[in-house]
Structure 1
Amino acid sequence: MAVGVLPGQFDGQQPKLFLDSDTDSNSPTLNTPPSPLESVNRPSSSRRPFFWEVVPLCDLYSVAHFILLPSSLRLSYSPVSSRNGVSETNAVKGVNGVNGHQPHPETSRFIEALTNLGLGQSNWATAGVSVFTAILPSTDGYASRSDFLRLRLQDFPFPISKIQECLHVRQKYTACRLSPFAHSEAYLASLIEQAAGLIQWVDLESSVSILDLQQYLLGLTHELRDRLNNAPWLTSQPVARKRVALIRGRPNLTAGGPVYRAARALGLELIIIDDEGHWLQPDTDDNRMHREAFLATDMTEDAGVVDRIVASIVRYPLPIHGVFTLSDNFFVATARVAEALGLPTNPVSAFQTSVDKHRSRLLQDATGHSVARVSSVEELNALLSSPEAAFTPVYPLIVKPTKGWSSECVSKVSSPGDLAAAVAKATARHGSAAVIEPFFDGPEIDANFVLVDGEVLFFEIADEPPCQADGKDAGVEATFSPEALTLPSALPGKEQETVRETLRVLLVKAGFRTGVFHVEARVVGSEMEYRDVGKGVVDLVVRGSLGSCREDGAAMVSKAECKLVEINARPPGYRVSVPSRHTYGIDFFAAHMLAAVGDHDRLRLVARSFDHAAESRTRGAQYWSRLVYVPAPKEGVVRWPSGLSPCEELKTRRPDLKERIVVAVDYCAPGDRIGLYTDGARTYVAHLLVYSRVSRRDAIEVGDEVLQAIRIEVEGE
């Protein structure tokens, strides 16, 4: 008996399955009441039950589902065909095969097609129902990246056994012709052979009912649609081979891995420019996996560094089409290198504004009454004592280095007595001046943009819960180091739109047009505030109707405003980019490199988020996620008593939490010496990303439990 599915437009209804014409009228279909799959196999049958369906998923793709029953339910195998269940091969050679011998039951054309893709019979359980899905793009084109399917299917709610991507980057794909009537084994094999990608799902139990199988396929199809509906894999024009230089290679593979993998998937040849002695310099097999070449260059931050980098690039025998950096202190130098070589870049002046927190502050607030810049405590005292000075500090306020990152040496000052100490701390870092600005009271957010010519291709907001310095009694020593991130944002839609447009205008005002930007801001006068919502869970909740008073008696602002904190003209850091990649399917590092080489066509493709639109969930997110930072518990030397890293030990000890952890990264190894603070910011020893398909609160609760359960052993002095 062979079973197929009539192809038809996917409309969210149950698939209509039919039995091949050689079956009798009493054979059950998949539309019958629930019953085990064993019931469809007649003991006298000489063929294995074989279900399949082709579904037009959207304008971009069709999918073909194939279901093979386990050996325990099949006596022998004869492939599906359009007539009498006889394979095309046997129709020519005779029903018993070549020379009258019975062919091996697993050597059919269809099985060979699967085996050739590495999905052979050795991977199939002997007692489970095997399910495969072929991804079939609807048009011809060129593959934009080689790991497209893995990126779009990450954290898929149905367990996956294996993903086989059949297209290399730049490879030409020719769409196959789907026939509504062909269901021979050769036709089905051709669907496998012409697929852009193939998914083997974890086997189902052999006792699964036919109705449950229907619901399973329907769920697969819905989820695939949400991930592929708006995400083209192919470009209409050939993808040019390009080479891009990373100025300042990453300090280790943990931080650099996402960059190197993205370059490889995009087919970009990666050149590393850094000091002599960098770990990527040796020409080893491992290093060649990550970069094409290493150009040793003196990276001393002096007046000649741009000329030295340009000289290294000019000496390289192959053309380099773009340069980029992920190091904040090299933004301006990298832009100058690009300008000198005529490569794609935003203006040098834009980067000069972004790296100077006083200049970026002036994009939104004029200097004078509430904003000042001083180079020393002496200059501060002179400013405060000058009768002509327009600056009048209003407490609380913020003091931070004009040059800096990661909340280093940023202080909240609540009284005049702490102002000088905060300025001294800020000016001591990087030898830069200090900027004094208002403290904006409201939910803190990270806003990430992907722009092309000023147009927003992708935008997201991550909510940062209150940190040490947000406390009412926080002193000058309290830090603004983040403690967690939650996605998607709980801010009302109108406030998210205010954030989006306010920050986009400021980016363009600074001079930025194309690229990836990580912007920190606060929402003043938000309808939301952080409160304990029960059981120690702190999250954003509605303050009350506009115009009412807050608990502290202050009148609420009638309209929310977005106040810029700082602009980072790069993707979020490697750990902060993790939630976006998993929650929305956005690879910021890929976008950053494509912007650097001026490949705007593929930049538009990689900036497509998922298309999930479930009620109460922000469009584009596949679930709610919580990024948890694990701070050092005390100063001392790190120990691993169990022999496992803290994250691995947690997952071993708490398998219930392991199921909810998407990513877990340890920063320290046994014997490492750590302190409570590093460069004025909290020292973190790990980060973990957890998820929930239930609710935002559930994600936060899981994150809190992970933070409480993880064990970091530090041997004190």
Structure 2
Amino acid sequence: MAVGVVPAEINGWPPNCACDAETEFSSRPMYTPPSPANSLNCQSSISRPLFWDVIPLCDLYSIVHVVLLPSSLRLLSNPISLRSRNGAPGVDGRQSQSQPQTQSRFIDALANLGLGPSTWAHAGVAVYTAILPTTDGYVARSDFLRQRLQDFPFSISKIQECASPLRKYVSCRVLPASINSEDGLANVVEQAAGVIQWGDLEASVSILDLQQYLLCLTQELHDRLNNAPWTTPHYIARKRVALIRGRPNLTAGGPIYRAARSLGFDLVIIDDEGHWLQADTDENRMHREAFLATDMTEDSGVVDRIIASITRYSLPIHGIFTVSDNFFVTCARVAEALGLPTNPVSAFQTSVDKHRSRLLQDAPGQTARVSSVDELNALLALPPSPNAFRPVYPVIVKPTRGWSSECVSKVSNPEDLATAVSKATARHGSAAVIEPFFDGPEIDANFVLLDGDVLFFEVADEPPCNADRHDASVQDTFSPEALTLPSALPDAEQEVVRNTLRDLLVRAGFRTGVFHVEARVIRSNSEYREIEGTVDLVRKNDARETTAECKLIEINARPPGYRVSVPSRHTYGVDYFAVHMLAAVGDYERLKLAARPFDHMAEDRTAGAQYWSRLVYVPAPKAGVVRWSASGGLSPCEWLKRRRPDLADKIVLAVDYCVPGDRVELFTDGARTYVAHVLVCSRVSRRDAIERGEEVLKAFDIEVEVV
């Protein structure tokens, strides 16, 4: 095995890493074991000795690890002090006499990519890995390596991706015998699709640690790249895609704009006059090619106005999409009129109308649609009949149009029904749908479909909210409090969810794209219960053979919102916004590539998940005006990480929604007002992720002044 370097006491080493020097990868065969260590002594031209190894990572990639020792070590020419850790030999730097620092072609190759330390005489150990796809092809995504290496459990100093989007990459087949000089290593760096510079390591290290480090590093790379081609064999034409509604700010829109750039799309924004992306500034040009100011008033003429803006634009547009719920139908109509890829208009009409979508899985008398309290009273006064609506409490009342749990009520008695209907009909001027309350674990299920086939599917668990309580009143909300991935539902129940919801999507008319579906599982063998202070979804004490059913709550024909898409992208490596755009232009080959999750395997964890994650929603503590004075000007998220470094290590991403001077309310449109979201992860256990998430929520401090 190649020799790499690691500190004797490495900080942050994954505690559950399955690799060790004795077993290597015997638990799950990955690839042909690497050849014995190869070493080069380039002291005549290179200022630091090195070790290297060529590894056939999988069918798709080969990798080359290169380890540069401190310049104070003179391998093969000067004595090296060896010491042991647990009996293993090691290397220990000893300051040698001053020697000339001669630049080398290998060092130049790294420096040309912006890699390497400012001085090559520093005492640390530098580790590099070159990534080499094994076949020629066109680059599917320019930031592919960054996407696949996100939250890597080893420290990364820099990632340099050398392949431009849409350009052809010519593979470099590297054999150990072909690297017999410094020039050979330089050629590898220059021909690699990407090069990783890992965090510098200490000079004092045992050989056993060194070997174990590279073993685990290699397996982690394998699990991220094994099933994910960087290139496609077919030519990729540059295309232009239009986004209807450009998102309210950079926080919400950033994942879309970044995905468009990495895919090689030219992005055109269609939105109202005065939108923040309209100004022709350098910063805005980074996010979009053009802005088409259009009257977006939601009336009968909006489709024609959008079409007119597109046809007036001087360059062709190959696809159109939106992530704004109230423009799904409009977007589909525009796409149909222009002959662009889309699902049927009728499918979107079903998904945005919660009454119509409820009827996909309904029984006579279960569900009703009313436009007012008077209409409700008239409906309840009708004489009994086999199919007459008769509510069986508790029921759910919600607007037929709406999102984010706005004005959704659980009604447990007839006296509160009119109150809930009045609240629902006041939102968006829509009617109210009255439907059964399904008692069971609530889930978010995300699908990537291609012509009706499931390319990727995942389930996330939503813990009970206020309205789930048995004593909940009509004023309690269904505002989510957290999200946990992967799901703790039994595999058989997740399969029921997959099959049921996929069939409902296809029945509604959807064939291709990303779909975020909310549902509940009734008669599940799992329930939420507190165990040693932690509430989680666990197997029932009296669990028995039952036939679980999945009951639809609503269909969102889009990626999860930017907040909810974060845990999926980080946990599984699937970027739903990229998939959404690829579907919009009909690029189904790259869509397949974008839907590939990681290849991690772990006990009690869904295949493909690199860890357990917990998304925490931070609600406004009270109504008032946000201040940052107590934190010395730091945002609440940064202030949290500064005060709690023990939690900062577990935080993947933390996003503040407010700045000083913003006014926040306890509720917005009938749902809880949030001031931030925080994603935490754990490679130890699901319970550990939940506990860290709860600690984050308790420690989060935002100053709200009542005025």
TM-score by length of 1: 0.89
CA–CA distance in 2 between the matches of 1:71 and 1:254? 44
Q: Is the 8 A contact 2:408 2:477 kept in 1?
A: yes
1:302 corresponds, among 299, 303, 309, to 299
Partner of 2:478: 480
Q: Is the 8 A contact 2:156 2:197 kept in 1?
A: yes
SS, match of residue 306 in structure 1: helix
Partner of 1:16: 36
The CA deviation string for residues 466-505 of structure 1, in whole angstroms up to 9 with x for no partner, is 0000011000000000000000000000000100010000
The residue identity in structure 2 corresponding to 1:479 is T
Partner of 1:374: 370
Indicate whether 1:268 and 2:265 are aligned: yes
Change (3 A) 1:127 1:351: same
Quote the offset at 1:163 in angstroms: 0.2
CA–CA distance in 1 between the matches of 2:317 and 2:520? 39
Change (3 A) 1:133 1:475: same
Q: How many residues align?
A: 660
Partner of 1:64: 64
CA–CA distance in 2 between the matches of 1:45 and 1:253? 48
Indicate whether 1:578 and 2:566 are aligned: yes
The CA deviation string for residues 553-600 of structure 1, in whole angstroms up to 9 with x for no partner, is xxxx82100000000000000010000010000110000000000000
Q: Is the 8 A contact 2:165 2:262 kept in 1?
A: yes
The residue identity in structure 2 corresponding to 1:650 is L
SS, match of residue 65 in structure 2: strand
SS, match of residue 464 in structure 2: coil
CA–CA distance in 2 between the matches of 1:203 and 1:3? 15
| Structure 2 unmatched runs, 5+ | 5-24, 79-97
Q: How does 1:604-683 map to 2 (within 5 A)?
A: 604-641=592-629, 642=631, 643-683=633-673
CA–CA distance in 1 between the matches of 2:119 and 2:568? 33
CA–CA distance in 1 between the matches of 2:542 and 2:502? 28
The residue identity in structure 2 corresponding to 1:453 is D
Change (3 A) 1:673 1:582: same
Q: How does 1:144-159 map to 2 (within 5 A)?
A: 144-159=140-155
Q: Is the 8 A contact 2:366 2:436 kept in 1?
A: yes
Quote the offset at 1:617 in angstroms: 1.7
1:136 corresponds, among 120, 132, 136, to 132
Q: Is the 8 A contact 1:14 1:218 kept in 2?
A: no
Partner of 1:93: none
Partner of 1:564: 552
2:519 corresponds, among 521, 546, 551, to 521
Q: Is the 8 A contact 2:46 2:101 kept in 1?
A: no
Q: Is the 8 A contact 2:49 2:71 kept in 1?
A: no
Partner of 2:86: none
Q: Is the 8 A contact 1:3 1:50 kept in 2?
A: no
The residue identity in structure 2 corresponding to 1:584 is Y
Change (3 A) 1:315 1:18: closer
CA–CA distance in 2 between the matches of 1:363 and 1:45? 72
Quote the offset at 1:544 in angstroms: 3.1
TM-score by length of 2: 0.90
Quote the offset at 1:12 in angstroms: 7.6
Change (3 A) 1:660 1:107: same
The CA deviation string for residues 59-82 of structure 1, in whole angstroms up to 9 with x for no partner, is 00000000111122249999xxxx
Q: Is the 8 A contact 2:658 2:675 kept in 1?
A: yes
The CA deviation string for residues 241-280 of structure 1, in whole angstroms up to 9 with x for no partner, is 0000000110000000000000000000000000000000
2:160 corresponds, among 150, 158, 164, to 164
Indicate whether 1:695 and 2:685 are aligned: yes
Quote the offset at 1:615 in angstroms: 2.0
Quote the offset at 1:186 in angstroms: 1.5
The CA deviation string for residues 324-361 of structure 1, in whole angstroms up to 9 with x for no partner, is 00100000000000000000000000000000000000
Q: Is the 8 A contact 1:469 1:478 kept in 2?
A: yes
Q: Is the 8 A contact 2:49 2:70 kept in 1?
A: no
Q: Is the 8 A contact 2:3 2:211 kept in 1?
A: no
1:114 corresponds, among 110, 114, 126, to 110
SS, match of residue 362 in structure 1: helix
CA–CA distance in 2 between the matches of 1:517 and 1:45? 57
The residue identity in structure 2 corresponding to 1:673 is R
The residue identity in structure 1 corresponding to 2:52 is W
CA–CA distance in 2 between the matches of 1:362 and 1:614? 39
1:533 corresponds, among 497, 516, 531, to 531
Indicate whether 1:397 and 2:395 are aligned: yes
CA–CA distance in 1 between the matches of 2:164 and 2:628? 42
Partner of 1:427: 425
Change (3 A) 1:369 1:159: same
Change (3 A) 1:696 1:3: closer
The CA deviation string for residues 161-188 of structure 1, in whole angstroms up to 9 with x for no partner, is 0000000101111111322322222211
CA–CA distance in 1 between the matches of 2:538 and 2:353? 34
The CA deviation string for residues 338-388 of structure 1, in whole angstroms up to 9 with x for no partner, is 00000000000000000000000000114x411111110000000111105
The residue identity in structure 1 corresponding to 2:170 is T
Quote the offset at 1:546 in angstroms: 4.2
1:342 corresponds, among 339, 342, 355, to 339
Quote the offset at 1:443 in angstroms: 0.3
Indicate whether 1:708 and 2:706 are aligned: no
The residue identity in structure 1 corresponding to 2:367 is V
1:331 corresponds, among 328, 342, 347, to 328
Quote the offset at 1:415 in angstroms: 0.3
Please identify, of 116-125 and 501-510, the stretch whose mean Cα deviation from structure 2 is larger. 116-125
The CA deviation string for residues 645-670 of structure 1, in whole angstroms up to 9 with x for no partner, is 11110011111111110000000111
Q: How does 1:224-303 map to 2 (within 5 A)?
A: 224-303=221-300
Q: Is the 8 A contact 1:584 1:620 kept in 2?
A: yes
CA–CA distance in 2 between the matches of 1:106 and 1:653? 46
2:200 corresponds, among 175, 200, 203, to 203
Q: Is the 8 A contact 1:396 1:413 kept in 2?
A: yes
Q: Is the 8 A contact 1:3 1:49 kept in 2?
A: no
CA–CA distance in 1 between the matches of 2:77 and 2:242? 55
CA–CA distance in 2 between the matches of 1:380 and 1:257? 44
Partner of 2:581: 593
Q: Is the 8 A contact 1:443 1:526 kept in 2?
A: yes
The residue identity in structure 2 corresponding to 1:176 is C
The residue identity in structure 1 corresponding to 2:153 is P
SS, match of residue 589 in structure 1: helix
SS, match of residue 314 in structure 1: helix
Change (3 A) 1:340 1:124: farther
The residue identity in structure 1 corresponding to 2:675 is V
Change (3 A) 1:130 1:401: same
CA–CA distance in 2 between the matches of 1:612 and 1:692? 14
2:489 corresponds, among 485, 488, 491, to 491
Change (3 A) 1:231 1:3: closer
CA–CA distance in 1 between the matches of 2:502 and 2:524? 19
Q: Is the 8 A contact 2:69 2:126 kept in 1?
A: yes
Q: Is the 8 A contact 1:130 1:201 kept in 2?
A: yes
Change (3 A) 1:45 1:236: closer
CA–CA distance in 1 between the matches of 2:120 and 2:504? 56
Q: Is the 8 A contact 2:46 2:102 kept in 1?
A: no
CA–CA distance in 2 between the matches of 1:257 and 1:326? 13
Quote the offset at 1:204 in angstroms: 1.1
RMSD of aligned Cα (Å):
2.3
Q: Is the 8 A contact 2:141 2:166 kept in 1?
A: yes
The residue identity in structure 2 corresponding to 1:437 is E
Q: Is the 8 A contact 2:409 2:476 kept in 1?
A: yes
Change (3 A) 1:584 1:137: same
CA–CA distance in 2 between the matches of 1:45 and 1:59? 35
Q: Is the 8 A contact 2:34 2:54 kept in 1?
A: no
SS, match of residue 363 in structure 1: helix
The residue identity in structure 2 corresponding to 1:615 is E
| Structure 1 unmatched runs, 5+ | 24-40, 79-101, 548-556
CA–CA distance in 2 between the matches of 1:590 and 1:338? 18
Partner of 1:191: 188
